[in-house]
Amino acid sequence: MGAPVERADRADRIAHPWGSRTPYRRGAPWPARTDGHLAPGTLPGDVDAWVPSASLLHSNGDAMDIAVRDGRIVGVRGRTGDRVNRGRLGPKDLFGWQANHSEDRLRTPLIRRDGRLQECSWDTALDAVADRTESLLEEDGPGSIGFYTSGQLFLEEYYTLAVLARAGIGTHHLDGNTRLCTATAAEALKETFGCDGQPGSYTDVDHADTLALFGHNMAETQPVLWMRVLDRLAGPDPPRLLCVDPRPTPVARAADVHLAPRTGTNLALLNALLHEILRHGRIDRAYLEAHTVGFDRLEQQVADCTPQWAAGICDVPAAAIAEAAELLGGADRLLSTVLQGVYQSHQATAAAVQVNNLHLVRGMLGRPGCGVLQMNGQPTAQNTRETGADGDLPGFRNWQNDAHVQELARIWNVTPETIPHYGPPTHAMQIFRYAEQGSVKMLWISGTNPAVSLPDLGRIRSILGQEGLFTVVQDLFATETAQYADVVLPAATWGEKTGTFTNADRTVHLSEKAVEPPGLARADLDIFLDYARRMDFRDRDGGPLVTWGTAQEAFEAWQRCSAGRPCDYTGITYERLRGSGGIQWPCTEAAPEGTERLYTDGISWAAPDDCETYGKDLLTGAAVEEEEYRALNPEGKAVIKAAAYVPPHEEPDGEFPLQLTTGRTLYHFHTRTKTGRVPQLNAAAPEVWAELSPAEAAAHGLHEGDLIEVATARGGVLARLRITAIRDGLVFLPFHYGYWDTPRGRGPGEGRAGRAANETTVTDWDPVSKQPLFKTAAARVALVERGDGTPAPAPTTTASAPADPDGIPATTGGPEARATEEPS
């Protein structure tokens, strides 16, 4: 319809991150809108090719075409026909591709000689890695070798890594940074449904009459999904919105009910919400009877959890809790989402599981508009989980179930004993602990930057710097982590290699190679394959263990491994993905178009012989034994698990009187290796800041723009103060800012305050999912230098918006940030 209309007022997509509204009514399809951005001076007619892909800077899976001219990426355009984004793109998607062209991309392998990293050939680098592997295997065995990977590679790459690590080397120590990210999402789904796998679908936004977001700043972290919500909110019969978040996020501002609890009290709040829902009899008895076990335990557990009780713990008015319960209890079609405000907070799994319980109690699953999204964060975290590169076995198989291990051994043509399964695969924090203790002697880090992203960085730097640890770092850039490496492997990335990945609602996209990588950089898949060849891994008949040489062949091998499992990819091919608008797994002969929602017909994967886990105790993390599970859940229903609230381990005290939480801003991705190299994004949030409420700032005698130190028992961060509508008693730090663009390059210097939020965070994790706690700690703040009246360098369009905007200039991206937006 009509010619593309460029709305100059909205085309600055830094100042207007969500663009213009295309309202729609409940049950109607989400209207399309095509967003794009081309390098200045490039016209659509100049583009040689549009190469299909999807975004790689969050888990939403926004489909896009990469514009190529003269062998270079010159822009992107949303794919209008795709089920996920209907053509829309967020700011990071629109501008992020420019990072591929950075002058300081790694172009050759590096090896440490005489204490310095020096350029070398691929043969030299990979032979060094293979030689070290072989000598360690001989002297110390497979347990001396660990792999720490990512949520940002492609499915084909993880699967290859999982095969070579688990069956080639036979090590137990393979995990992803997904441990920091969605380990709790996976665990919460496993505890309730016996198996990982997202029940809901993004189309539930189209049908819901009530939305509940728990610790999820969707507006900033999945901006395109938020556009969908905004378009429903602007439509004729908007859903009601509940937000549970201690910060004044854009979600909180749009909410009908906003609860801003003390951090670490999610479980108390959820138990009170469930108490109210049960008290008012908002219970689907027929659903509970048919599809669940364990309801009586929940009833007992929440019997005394009144709103008044929770109000005292969460510091939220009891009336507001009752109001939220009314909203949830009155919903006819409820969609809930959960993310880091729960997963990285205290009692993570126990709290996330209560959101599942809410849906079971209300019988709200498997129907349009009735979904739970235990969200993902990273673009390909789902695949890390599916392929078993994350501390699980491939295909959501149960390491405690011998039949599952045997099946896997059959697929790989190895003996079952080859695949370590004497205990749960080692989680990331434990791999680093083993490295600290010296039993892990080689650590291969791919696609993650632990020297900025793991908690308690002083400790992490000392582990990475240990003499006895041989460290391999595979990345695009010479990151803070790469400074500690013995071998650095330059990787190709998005746009420079081919592979598939799966978003948070199980939608699979193919991302095709559009341009050549810089210098000698290679696709991660090719690096893993080359290593496997050098190691000459064999199957039980003496044939090669890794039988594939291309991404498509790796995908086909994965299809065979996924067959018959919940994440069944057998009906998805590269061919089909090429013409599609995204396909949701499971996709099989029986469901050739893919599967929009799981559990439409009862619970499918919780039976004792099928389930991925027999579960854990929600308080202690102790494993449930097979016999116990068989007795509890013989028919494979959903398991309703209850847990009592206990206070966080680290609470404010006289020395550290504030709560501290950390998180994200719209314009940056993690440790900024990409977004820090993109002019429009970096200008929008150029430097670290800290947030306090007006009352807290006044109590400390602090003003907007003052340089303060935020310190905990671990360490401190220097940051300019932004005064926002955050709850009193809480200080917030974004965790994006590390050291690669500071003079020292790798850290703050002994005993000094730094720039990375993780100088302050604690070595502690959820006992069930083993996900580290980045959201709860105790801290103090102190003035370091009075500001000169210049406001803090924090965005004004986001949760960091000033409480008093007077005199604080609004965030804009300048002329460079103009993007096109074509309402259709």
Ligand X SMILES: Nc1nc2c(c(=O)[nH]1)N[C@H]1C(S)=C(S)[C@@H](COP(=O)(O)OP(=O)(O)OC[C@H]3O[C@@H](n4cnc5c(=O)[nH]c(N)nc54)[C@H](O)[C@@H]3O)O[C@H]1N2
Residues of this chain that bind ligand X (CB under 6 A): 58-59, 92, 150-153, 177, 180-181, 214-217, 220-221, 244-247, 249, 261, 263-264, 266, 339-342, 344-345, 377-378, 446-450, 453, 474-477, 479, 491, 493, 524, 661-664, 666, 668-671, 673, 735, 757-758, 761, 774-775, 799
Q: Give the span between the Cα atoms of 89 and 91, in whole angstroms.
A: 7
CB 399 to ligand X: min, Å = 24
Site for Mo ion contains 181 (CB under 5 A): yes
- Of 452, 274, 244, 198, the C-alpha closest to 341 is 244
The reply to whether 75 sits near Mo ion by the rule CB under 5 A is: no
Whether the Cβ atoms of residue 818 and residue 15 lie closer than 8 Å to each other: no
Shortest distance, position 377 Cβ to ligand X, whole Å: 2
Min separation Cβ 676 and ligand X, Å:
9
DSSP letter assigned to residue 758: G
Q: Is 604 helix (H, G, I), strand (E, B) or coil?
A: coil
292 or 446, CB closer to ligand X?
Answer: 446
What residue 328 binds from Mo ion, ligand X, none (CB within 5 to 8 A, per partner kind)?
none
Contact pattern from residue 486 through residue 525 relative to Mo ion, giving x for each residue in contact according to CB under 5 A and a dash for the rest: ----------------------------------------
Binding mask 699-738 for Mo ion (x = CB under 5 A): ----------------------------------------
Segment near Mo ion (CB under 5 A); pick from 23-31, 353-361, 369-377, 498-506? 369-377
Name the minimum Å distance from CB 813 to ligand X.
15
Complex with ligand X: residue 144 or 761, whichever CB lies closer: 761
Task: Select from Mo ion, ligand X, none the partner in contact with residue 451, using the beta carbon and a kind-dependent cut-off of 5 to 8 Å.
Answer: none
Residue 446 contact among Mo ion, ligand X, none, beta carbon within 5 to 8 Å by kind: ligand X
Q: What are phi and psi of 9, to 5 degrees?
A: -65, -30
CB 747 to ligand X: min, Å: 15
58 binds, among ligand X, Mo ion, none (CB under 5 to 8 A by kind): ligand X
Nearer to ligand X, 16 or 668 (CB): 668
Q: Which is nearer to Mo ion, 378 or 580 (CB)?
A: 378
Residue 149 CB, nearest distance to Mo ion (Å)?
14
Give residue number: closest CB to ligand X: 377
Task: Return d(Cα 578, Cα 747) in angstroms, integer.
Answer: 44
Whichever of 366 and 377 has its CB closer to Mo ion, that residue is 377
Distance (Å, whole) CA 149 – CA 140: 22
Q: Cβ of residue 482: shortest distance to ligand X, in angstroms?
A: 8
To the nearest whole angstrom, how small is the minimum distance from the Cβ of residue 151 to Mo ion? 6
For the window 114-143, what string marks contact with Mo ion as x by the rule CB under 5 A?
A: ------------------------------
Cβ–Cβ under 8 Å, residues 270 and 358: yes
SS3 334: strand
Tell me whether residue 178 or residue 210 sits nearer to Mo ion (CB atom): 178
What DSSP letter does each residue of 534-589 carry, written as one string? Answer: HHT-B-TTSSBS----SHHHHHHHHHHHHTTSSS--TT--HHHHHTSS-EESP--S
Q: Where are the alpha helices (DSSP H) in 740-821?
A: none
* Among Mo ion, ligand X, none, partner that 499 touches (CB below 5 to 8 angstroms by kind): none
Using the minimum distance from each CB to Mo ion, give the nearer residue, 182 or 580: 182
Residues in 370-389 at the binding interface with Mo ion, rule: CB under 5 A = 377-378
State the DSSP code for 726: P
Q: How far is the CB of 270 from ligand X (least distance, A)?
A: 10
Smaller CB distance to ligand X: residue 405 or 697?
697
User: Residue 93 has which token pair?
Assistant: 């998607």
Give the residue at shortest CB distance from Mo ion: 377
| Peptide bond just before 791 cis, omega within 30 deg | no
**Terminal-to-terminal C-alpha distance of the chain:** 6
Nearer to ligand X, 228 or 670 (CB): 670
Sequence-ordered strand ranges (E) for 79-189: 110-113, 116-119, 145-149, 174-176
Q: How far apart are CA 768 and CA 788, in angstroms?
A: 47
338 binds Mo ion (CB under 5 A): no
Nearer Cβ to ligand X, position 639 or 681? 681
The C-alpha atoms of residue 298 and residue 612 are separated, in whole angstroms, by 23
- Which CB sits closer to ligand X, 492 or 557? 492
Distance CA 490, CA 478 (A): 9
Nearer to Mo ion, 171 or 378 (CB): 378
Decide which of ligand X, Mo ion, none touches 203; Cβ closer than 5 to 8 Å per partner kind: none
Q: Return d(Cα 383, Cα 387) in angstroms, integer.
A: 6
Residue 475 CB, shortest distance to ligand X, in Å, is: 5
Angle of CA points 144, 148, 151, to nearest 5°: 160
369 or 377, CB closer to Mo ion? 377
Tell me how many degrees the CA angle 559-89-69 measures, rounded to the nearest 5: 85
Q: How far is the CB of 147 from ligand X (least distance, A)?
A: 12
Q: Please report the beta strands in 705-802, taking only residues with DSSP state E, as ranges in sequence order.
A: 707-711, 716-723, 730-734, 777-785
Residue 757 site contact among Mo ion, ligand X, none (CB < 5 to 8 Å, cut-off depends on kind): ligand X
Any residues with CB less than 8 A from the CB of 336 and at least 6 apart, and which? 211, 212, 213, 214, 355, 358, 359, 371, 372, 373
- In angstroms, what is the minimal distance from the CB of 11 to Mo ion? 30
> How far is Cα 636 from Cα 412, in angstroms, rounded to an integer?
28
Residues 6+ apart with CB under 8 A from 590: none
CA distance 771 to 799: 24
Cβ proximity to ligand X, 445 vs 640, nearer residue: 445
* Minimum CB distance to ligand X, residue 608 (Å): 32
- With left for phi above 0 and alpha for psi between -120 and 50, is residue 475 left, alpha or beta? beta
Residue 215 binding partner per list Mo ion, ligand X, none, with a CB distance cut-off of 5 to 8 Å that depends on partner kind = ligand X
Find all residues with CB under 8 Å of 348, minimum gap 6, and list them.
Answer: 184, 342, 766, 768, 769, 771, 773
Q: Measured from the CB of residue 181, what is the shortest distance to Mo ion in angstroms? A: 3
Q: Interface with Mo ion by CB under 5 A: which residues?
A: 181, 377-378
